[in-house]
């Protein structure tokens, strides 16, 4: 897993020019086409209250409104919730993906959406969109708190059939696990280059190394180590074990198999078999990965697992790596996918 994350880190660093150590990825501000309106909102999340890591319970989100929103006061709109990856916040992800351009291009094709990009950056670099007393319940934040806020403040099609969920990398992982946990909230899901699909394992050497990292060094560690620590606090939380408030995968001189089992319980690949009714309830499931993406193997695995259970899903392998075509594909593939499967009214 750490090797895979290292491949992902290299791809993100090369594409977005992120510093190698202890920095979150940044991207230039996204221009807003004429007629598009972008609101910056703050959503208070009861689901995140009391988290032991001290992550903010008031989360920023960017709401991109289509051209007709300010003109047709009676029209209601489909909403796509778009989840960012590890070590990048919602605003920089929105910038890199050029979300306003995608919303504008979709409108030109005759398909208008509201697109919501929430920020789930945490102390160590990423929420993993998991339910954890340490990080907070980010699954419920997205599926309940954020959706409720957007439905109460904007003219949305405020029902399952009007909502889609998509995300990239860690956000693709989030799309899978939030979708399976809250299938009643979204009608269609699409995971781009999802990370963390297969059950994570550690060697004795890598587990021992992780357990040796102090909290002070953890927040400054390289991409791979921070991703590993973020996964740990999300998937094996322990309120009685400060300062990380989590259990390391190393105990009594060997890999702690109970911790590894807890991590496996958060694997989308492992979750499929116990969430078949939820997955079958979606109108549509889509996923993809670049043919040069180090995560292609795992993303192929979950597609094949869905096939084994007879769960209809759209799958694509395209010419690209982990990041070089994701904005284009959100515009040209993901939004048309949502247009086909979400209700217009």
Q: Report the percent of the chain where pLDDT is more than 90.
A: 92
Q: Which residues of 66-105 are buried (b: 16+ CB within 10 A; e: fewer)?
A: bbebeeeeeebbbbbbbbbbbbbbbbbbbbbbbbbbbbbe
pLDDT tens digit string along 169-208? 999 999 999 999 999 999 999 999 999 999 999 999 999 9
Question: What total of structural domains would you count in the chain?
Answer: 1
pLDDT of residue 38 exceeding 70: yes
Q: What is the pLDDT of residues 97-132, one digit of tens each?
A: 999 999 999 999 999 999 999 999 999 999 999 999
What pLDDT, in 10s, does the model give residues 57-104? 999 999 999 999 999 899 999 999 999 999 999 999 999 999 999 999
Answer whether 226's CB lies under 8 Å from 87's CB: yes
Tens digit of pLDDT for each residue in 213-234? 999 999 999 999 999 999 999 9
Which sign does the torsion angle of CA 38, 40, 46, 49 carry?
positive
- Say if CB 169 and CB 193 are below 8 A apart: yes
3-state secondary structure of 32: coil
pTM reported for the whole predicted model: 0.94
The gap from C-alpha 297 to its chain's centroid, in whole angstroms, comes to 19
Instruction: Give the pLDDT score at 148.
Output: 98
> Is residue 11 predicted with pLDDT exceeding 90?
no
Which range is least confidently modeled, 15-24, 40-49, 158-167, 297-306? 15-24
For residue 24 the two structure tokens come to 């979150």
pLDDT attached to residue 30 = 85
Q: What is the pLDDT of residue 281?
A: 98
Which domain, by its residues, includes 50? 2-341
Q: CA nearest 175: which of 186, 184, 160?
A: 186
Instruction: Name the pLDDT band for 259 (thresholds 50, 70, 90).
Output: very high
> Is the pLDDT at 290 greater than 80, yes or no?
yes
What percent of the chain is helix, strand and coil (3-state, nearest 5)?
A: 40, 20, 40
Two tokens, residue 257: 């198999």
CATH number at residue 211: 3.40.50.1820
- pLDDT above 70 coverage of the chain, percent: 94
DSSP, res 270: H
Q: Token pair for residue 114?
A: 């509201």
**pLDDT reported for residue 8:** 42
Looking at residue 309, its pLDDT comes to 98
**Quick one: pLDDT at residue 12?**
45
């Amino acid at each position: 897993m750490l090797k895979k994350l290292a491949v992902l880190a290299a791809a993100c660093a090369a594409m977005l020019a992120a510093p190698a150590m202890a920095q979150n990825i940044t991207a230039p501000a996204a221009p807003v086409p004429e007629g598009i309106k972008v609101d910056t909102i703050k959503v208070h999340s009861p689901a995140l209250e009391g988290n032991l890591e001290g992550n903010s319970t008031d989360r920023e989100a960017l709401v991109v409104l289509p051209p007709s929103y300010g003109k047709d006061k009676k029209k209601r709109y489909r909403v796509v919730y778009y989840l960012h990856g590890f070590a990048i916040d919602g605003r920089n992800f929105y910038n890199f993906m050029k979300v306003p351009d995608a919303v504008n291009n979709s409108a030109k094709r005759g398909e208008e959406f509201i697109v919501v990009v929430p920020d789930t950056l945490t102390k160590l670099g990423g929420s993993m969109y998991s339910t954890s007393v340490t990080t907070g319940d980010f699954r419920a934040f997205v599926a309940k708190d954020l959706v409720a806020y957007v439905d109460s403040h904007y003219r949305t099609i405020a029902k399952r059939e009007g909502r889609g969920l998509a995300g990239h990398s860690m956000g693709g992982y989030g799309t899978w696990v939030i979708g399976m946990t809250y299938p009643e909230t979204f009608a269609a899901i699409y995971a781009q280059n999802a990370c963390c699909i297969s059950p994570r394992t550690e060697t004795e050497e890598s587990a021992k190394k992780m357990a040796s990292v102090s909290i002070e060094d953890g927040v400054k560690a390289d991409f791979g180590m921070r991703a590993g620590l973020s996964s740990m606090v999300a998937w094996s939380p322990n309120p009685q074990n400060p300062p990380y408030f989590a259990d390391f995968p190393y105990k009594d001189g060997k890999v702690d198999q109970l911790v590894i089992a807890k991590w496996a319980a958060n694997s989308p690949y492992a979750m499929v078999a116990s969430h078949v009714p939820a997955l079958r309830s979606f109108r549509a499931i889509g996923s993809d990965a670049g043919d040069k993406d180090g995560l292609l193997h795992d993303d192929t695995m979950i597609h094949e697992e869905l096939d084994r259970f007879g769960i209809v899903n759209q799958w694509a392998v395209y010419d690209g790596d982990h990041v070089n075509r994701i904005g284009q594909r959100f515009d040209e593939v993901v939004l048309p996918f949502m247009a086909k499967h979400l209700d217009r009214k």
